[in-house]
Amino acid sequence: MNDQRPDPDALLNRVQMEAAQEKRGKLKIFFGASPGVGKTYAMLEAARARKAEGLDVVVGLLETHGRKETAALLEGLEVLAPRELEYRGTHLKEFDIDAALGRKPGLLLVDELAHTNAEGSRHLKRWQDVQELLDLGVNVYSTLNVQHLESLNDIVAQVTGVIVRETLPDKVLETADEVELVDLPPDDLLKRLQEGKVYLPEAAQRAVQNFFKKGNLIALRELALRTTANRVGDQVQDYRRDKAITRTWATADRLLVCVSPSPSSANLVRAAHRMAKSLKAGWIALYVETPDQARLPAEARSRAVQHLRLAEQLGAETATLSGRDFAEEVMDYARERNVTKIFMGKPPRYSWRTLLRPSPVDRLLRVSGDIDVYATQGETADLREKRRTRAGAARKAFDWKGYGSALLTVAACTAVAWLLFPRVDLANLIMVYLLGILAVSYRQSLGPSTLASFLSVLVFDFFFVPPRFTFAVADTQYVFMFLVMLLVGLSISNLTVRLRGQERLSRLRERRTAALYSLSRELAGTWGTAELLGIAVRHISEVFESSVLAFLPDGDGRLQVQCGAVQDFNLTPKEMGVAHWAYDLGRMAGRGTDTLPGTEALYLPLLASGEPVGALGVKPDHPEKLLIPEQLHLLEAFAHQTALAVAADKLLQKQQRTQMQVEAERLRSSLLSSVSHDLRTPLAAITGSASSLLADGPNLDAVTRKDLLENIHDEAERLERLVSNLLEMTKLESGAVQLKKELHVPGEIIGSAIARVEDRLKERSLVTQIPPELPLVPMDALLVEQVLVNLLDNALKYTPEGSALEVSASARDGRLVVEVADRGPGVPAGDLLRLFDKFYRGPQDEKRSGAGLGLSICKGVVEIHGGTIEAQNRPGGGAVFRFTIPLETAKPD
C-alpha cells in the first residue's frame, strides 16, 4: 500500500515560509492587458471598500491621467505628497517612500508598478520601492499591464511593433499574494478611447493608429488571460500538494505518455504529441526503469533514451523514474503532476502468461481511478518482424555460464545433503537446497535460479525421499512437501533477483546523483564562462574517462574552442561540421549516434530553455563504456547542467552591462549637470566683472575696479581648480598617472598645501600637530599635496566661518597617518561610505557648489600609493578625514 502522506520536510519548509510571510506585507496586483481597461479604477474601488471596513488606507502615488471618474474616487482618501525632483531642467513628481514608511498605513496604494524612478530616487524601479515596503510590513495595492512583464517583452514587441522599455521581473507577479485580472473587451476599450476616457483626444487618435490597434489589443488580452490562468494553475497545484490531495483535479488537460524500449513507442510519442496539440494541453514523457527493463540489452535501453529525446524535440517535458512496480510509479507521478490522460502501448497479443502475470496496461487500468488511460497499438508488421528477429537472436545468446552454475550448485547441495542424510531428518536437508537456490539467485539471473528451484525438488525426491533412487513417492504427504519446497524456492529466486535489480538501480541513481551534485555544487560557486566550462570539462573527463572540448559561438555564430584537451582531438572540417550540426539543430550527433556516426567524437549541444548556448565534444577512451544508455543519459544531464550555468552567467553579464550602461548614463548626466553649473557660475562672474570694467571702467573708482579684478581672479582660480580636477580624475581612471616616488619630509608637503589655501583661511584658526621626528616617506609630493589641498578645501566649504581646523601627522604601524579634522556639522551616517564616490556632493547651497570630484581624486591618489582613506564623525561634532601611506623603503629616483 502506498504512503500518500505529504513529505514532512516539505511541510516544515512550507510552515517556515508561511511564518516569514506573516511578518511581510501583502501585495495585491490589479493586472490588465493594456492601459485604459480600468485597473486604477478597480484598485480605488477596492481600497474604498477596505476603508469602509475601518482599515487605514493611504494613497502613496496615483495617476488619474485626467479621468474624471478616477479622480472622483480619490475624494475622501488621504494622499501623500509626492517627492519633487529636478531632472534636466524638468520638475518630476515621484513616490516618496520615506514619507510612506513614516506614515506606515494599513494599506498603501502605489500605481504603475513597472515605473522607472527619476534619477536621485532611492531605487531604480518603483517595484523595488514596493518590495521595501512589503519587507517592512506595509500592505500594498498596485497596478500592472501585461506588456511590462520581462518574459513577454519580445512577444509584445513582435505583436505591437513597440519595444516596451519599462519592465519588471516575472517573479514580482508570481510572488504577489493576490492578482485580480481587470478585463475589458477590445471593442469596449476602443470606444472608451474615442470618448476621451483613456487619453486626451489628440493622444487618443495617435494611440488608435499605433499601439491601440484592435489586433494588438486582442493579442495582449490573450497574453493577460493566459498569464493569469497559469498563475491560477500553479495555485491549484500548491493547494493539492499542501493538502496531500492525490485525486486528480481535471481543471486543465495534462497528458502523460509512457515510453518504453519498444520500437512502437516512437509512434506512441507522436500520437500523444498530436493529441496534446489538439487539446492545447501540456504533456510529459515518462520512462520507468524497472528491474526487468534494466536487464534488457543495451540496444533496447538506448531506444528508450531516443524516445525521450524525440519527446523533448516535440515539446514535451521528460522524466525518468526507477522503481519495482511500473503501474505504481506511473500513478504516483501522474497524481503528483495532476495528469488527466495517460498514453501507453498495449501488448500486441494476449497469452496464457497474462493470466499469471497481468500486462502493464492491465495493472495500470486497475489502479488508474479517475485518470483516463489510452492504450494504442501503433505497431506495424515490419516492427513485429524486427521484434521476432531480435527475440530469436536473444534465444541464441544462451546463458551457458548461469545455467551451468545452477547445475553445479545443485550438485554441491546434493553432496552436502548426502553427508548429512544419516544424521538429520528430511526437513533439514531441504534447508541445504534452499540455501543453494539463494546462492544461485544472488549471483545469476532469474532463469538459472528458477532451474535451480525445480532441480532441487527433483534431486531431493530422487536421492532422499523413500523409495530412494526413484521419482515414485510412497506417501502423499511428500507431495505437499515438494510443492512447498518449490514455491519457497521460486519465491526466494524471484525476490533475490528483484533485490539485486533494485540494488543495481540504487547504485546507479546514487552514482548519478553524486556526480551531478558535485558538478552542480562547483558550478554554483563559480562565475565567468571560461571558468564554468573549465569545471564542466574537468568533471566530464573524469567521470566518463574521455577527452572533452567545450565550444562557444563567436560573434558570427561560428563555434570556437573555449577550453579542453585540444591536443587529443583531430579537429578536421568534418569534425567541426558535426559539432556545428549538433549546435544548430540542438541534437546529439557523431560517434555512437544515428547522425553522422563516422567521427572520432560524440558532440552534444548545450541547451538552456531550448536554445543552444554552445556544444561539447567528447572523445571516450573506452567507447563501449560511454555509449551505453545510462552513461549517455548521465552525459546529457551533465551537458544540461553546464548549459544552464553558462546561460545564467551570460544573463548575469548582460545585466551587469546594462547596469554599467545605466550607471554610465547616470554619471554622464551628473557630470553634465555638475560641470555645466560649475563652469557657468565662474564664467558668469568673470563675464559680468569684465563687462563692467569694459563698459564703465573710466568712471569706476579704484576700490571698485580692484574688487572687480579680484573677483575675476578668484573665479578664474575656481575655474582652474575645477578643470584640474576633471583632468586629474580622467588621468587616474585611465591609469595615465605615473608615480614619481621620492623620499620627502611630510611636514614640508603639509606646509606647502596649507600655503596654497592660506588666503582662504581668513579668520580661521588652523592647528597643526607634526612631530619633527617623522621619518622620510616615499611618495609623489605633488599628488599628495593635491590630496591635502582637496581635503582642506572640502573642510573650508562644509564648516561654518570662524570654526577651527586641525591638521596632524604621525607614524603608526609602518604607515604615515595624516588627519584633517574640523568642527563642522559632520557627515550623515548613511553618507560616510559614499563620500569618495565620483560626483557625490553633500547638502548643497550656493556656497557649496562643486563637481563632487575632490574627494574621489583623493581616494585615487592615496590608493595608487598603496594607502587607505576614510572619514569619521568626531565626538562633540565635526568630521575627520584620515589617509595613510606605507613607510616602505625606497631609493630616491
When pLDDT is averaged across residues 790-813 and rounded to a whole number, the result is 87
Reported as a single tens digit per residue, the pLDDT across 569-590 is: 888 888 888 888 888 888 888 8
C-alpha 673: how far from its chain's center? 38
Asked if 565 and 541 count as a contact pair (C-beta separation under 8 A), the reply is yes
- In this model, does residue 710 exceed pLDDT 90? no
Distance, in Å, from the CA atom of 604 to the CA atom of 590, rounded to the nearest integer, reads: 9
Which residue, 877, 717, 733, 731, is CA-closest to 789? 717
Q: How many CB atoms are located within 10 Å of the residue 483 CB?
A: 11
Element holding 749 (H helix, E strand): helix 746-756
* C-alpha cell, 43: 484598485
Q: Which amino acid is residue 675, in one-letter code?
A: V
Which single residue is written with the C-alpha cell 554441491?
412
Percentage of the chain modeled with pLDDT above 90: 12
Alpha carbons within 13 angstroms on the beta-carbon side of residue 876 total 4
When pLDDT is averaged across residues 142-167 and rounded to a whole number, the result is 84
Query: pLDDT grade, residue 640 (50/70/90)?
Result: confident
The single-letter DSSP state of residue 370 is T
Which residue, 200, 52, 57, 30, is CA-closest to 111? 30
- In this model, does residue 611 exceed pLDDT 60? yes
Reported as a single tens digit per residue, the pLDDT across 387-399 is: 454 444 444 456 7
Asked if 258 and 342 count as a contact pair (C-beta separation under 8 A), the reply is yes
Which residue, 808, 787, 779, is CA-closest to 854? 787
- In this model, does residue 480 exceed pLDDT 60? yes
**679 vs 754: which has the higher pLDDT:** 754
Kindly report whether the peptide bond that precedes residue 825 is cis, defined as omega within 30 degrees of 0: no
* C-alpha cell, 485: 519446497
pLDDT at res. 47: 93
What dihedral angle (degrees, nearest 10) is formed by the CA atoms of 294, 298, 302, 304? -30
> Given phi > 0 = left and psi -120 to 50 = alpha, else beta, which region is 528?
left
When pLDDT is averaged across residues 382-409 and rounded to a whole number, the result is 62
Q: Which amino acid is residue 27, in one-letter code?
A: L
DSSP letter for each residue of 12-28? HHHHHHHHHHHHSPPEE
| Angle between helices 746-756 and 781-797 in degrees, nearest 10 | 50
When pLDDT is averaged across residues 775-791 and rounded to a whole number, the result is 88
Which residue, 174, 190, 147, is CA-closest to 237? 174
Task: Please tell me the least confidently modeled range out of 258-272, 600-614, 683-697.
Answer: 683-697
**Coil, helix or strand for 856?**
helix
- In this model, does residue 672 exceed pLDDT 60? no
* C-alpha cell, 655: 545585466
- In this model, does residue 638 exceed pLDDT 50? yes
When pLDDT is averaged across residues 175-192 and rounded to a whole number, the result is 87
Q: Which residues contact 476 (CB under 8 A, 6 or more apart)?
A: none
**95 vs 86: which has the higher pLDDT:** 95
Query: pLDDT grade, residue 666 (50/70/90)?
Result: low
CB burial string 445-471: b at 16+ within 10 A, e below: bbebbbbbbebbbebbbeebbeeeeee
C-alpha 649: how far from its chain's center? 9
Q: Which residues contact 679 (CB under 8 A, 6 or more apart)?
A: 719, 722
Which single residue is written with the C-alpha cell 500520437?
271
Q: Which amino acid is residue 828, in one-letter code?
A: P
- In this model, does residue 591 exceed pLDDT 80? yes
Backbone angles phi, psi at 811, to 5 degrees: -115, 120
pLDDT at res. 262: 82
Task: Please tell me the least confidently modeled range out of 126-130, 625-629, 812-816.
Answer: 625-629
When pLDDT is averaged across residues 657-674 and rounded to a whole number, the result is 62
Residue 259 Cα distances to 289, 297, 358, 383, angstroms: 10, 17, 18, 16
Which residue, 655, 657, 648, is CA-closest to 532? 648
Q: How many CB atoms are located within 10 Å of the residue 606 CB?
A: 27
pLDDT at res. 389: 44
- In this model, does residue 150 exceed pLDDT 70? yes
Element holding 768 (H helix, E strand): strand 766-769
Query: pLDDT grade, residue 26 (50/70/90)?
Result: very high
pLDDT at res. 323: 75
Q: How many CB atoms are located within 10 Å of the residue 141 CB?
A: 28
DSSP letter for each residue of 290-346? -HHHHTS-HHHHHHHHHHHHHHHHTT-EEEEEE-S-HHHHHHHHHHHTT--EEEEEP
The single-letter DSSP state of residue 848 is G
Distance, in Å, from the CA atom of 471 to the CA atom of 628, rounded to the nearest integer, reads: 48
Q: Nearest 5 degrees, angle CA 765-CA 771-CA 772?
A: 120
Query: pLDDT grade, residue 18 (50/70/90)?
Result: low
Most trustworthy range by pLDDT among 304-308, 805-809, 845-849:
805-809
Distance, in Å, from the CA atom of 127 to the CA atom of 487, rounded to the nearest integer, reads: 70
pTM more than 0.85: no
Asked if 48 and 77 count as a contact pair (C-beta separation under 8 A), the reply is yes
DSSP letter for each residue of 393-444? HHHHS--HHHHHHHHHHHHHHHHHHHHHTTTS-HHHHHHHHHHHHHHHHHHS
Which residue, 562, 570, 609, is CA-closest to 591? 570
**Coil, helix or strand for 71?**
helix
When pLDDT is averaged across residues 333-360 and rounded to a whole number, the result is 72
> Rg of the Cα trace of the chain?
41
Distance, in Å, from the CA atom of 114 to the CA atom of 146, rounded to the nearest integer, reads: 10
Max CA separation in the chain (angstroms): 153
Percentage of the chain modeled with pLDDT above 70: 81
Residue 45 Cα distances to 110, 203, 275, 327, angstroms: 14, 27, 44, 53
Distance, in Å, from the CA atom of 864 to the CA atom of 732, rounded to the nearest integer, reads: 9
Average pLDDT of every residue of the chain: 80
Could you tell me whether strands 341-345 and 254-258 are parallel, antiparallel, or unpaired per DSSP bridges?
A: parallel
Distance, in Å, from the CA atom of 747 to the CA atom of 709, rounded to the nearest integer, reads: 34
- In this model, does residue 733 exceed pLDDT 50? yes
pLDDT at res. 385: 43
Q: Which residues contact 307 (CB under 8 A, 6 or more apart)?
A: 259, 260, 265, 266, 269, 285, 287
Distance, in Å, from the CA atom of 25 to the CA atom of 837, rounded to the nearest integer, reads: 34
Which residue, 779, 817, 534, 527, is CA-closest to 653? 527
What is the distance in angstroms between the CA of the first residue and the CA of the last residue of the chain?
88
**204 vs 73: which has the higher pLDDT:** 73
- In this model, does residue 632 exceed pLDDT 70? yes
pLDDT at res. 202: 57
**373 vs 392: which has the higher pLDDT:** 373
C-alpha 631: how far from its chain's center? 27
Distance, in Å, from the CA atom of 257 to the CA atom of 42, rounded to the nearest integer, reads: 44
Asked if 832 and 842 count as a contact pair (C-beta separation under 8 A), the reply is no
pLDDT at res. 651: 82
Task: Please tell me the least confidently modeled range out of 474-488, 604-618, 770-784.
Answer: 474-488
C-alpha 664: how far from its chain's center? 26
When pLDDT is averaged across residues 787-800 and rounded to a whole number, the result is 86
pLDDT at res. 893: 41
